[in-house]
Amino acid sequence: MSIFSTTDAQFQHDVLESTGPILVDFWAPWCKPCVMISTELEKLEAQYGGKLRIAKVNVDENPLTPRSLYIRSIPTIIFYPGGKEAPLSVVGATTAIELERRFRLSELVK
Q: Could you give the CA distance from residue 99 to residue 79 in angstroms, rounded to a whole number? A: 9
| 31 a catalytic residue | yes
CA dihedral sign, ordered 60, 64, 67, 69:
negative
Residue among 28, 31, 93, 108 flagged as catalytic:
31
Contacts of 67 (CB under 8 A, 6+ apart): none
Annotated catalytic residue 75: no
Given the residues 22, 23, 24, 34, the one annotated as active site: 34
Q: Which residues are catalytic?
A: 31, 34
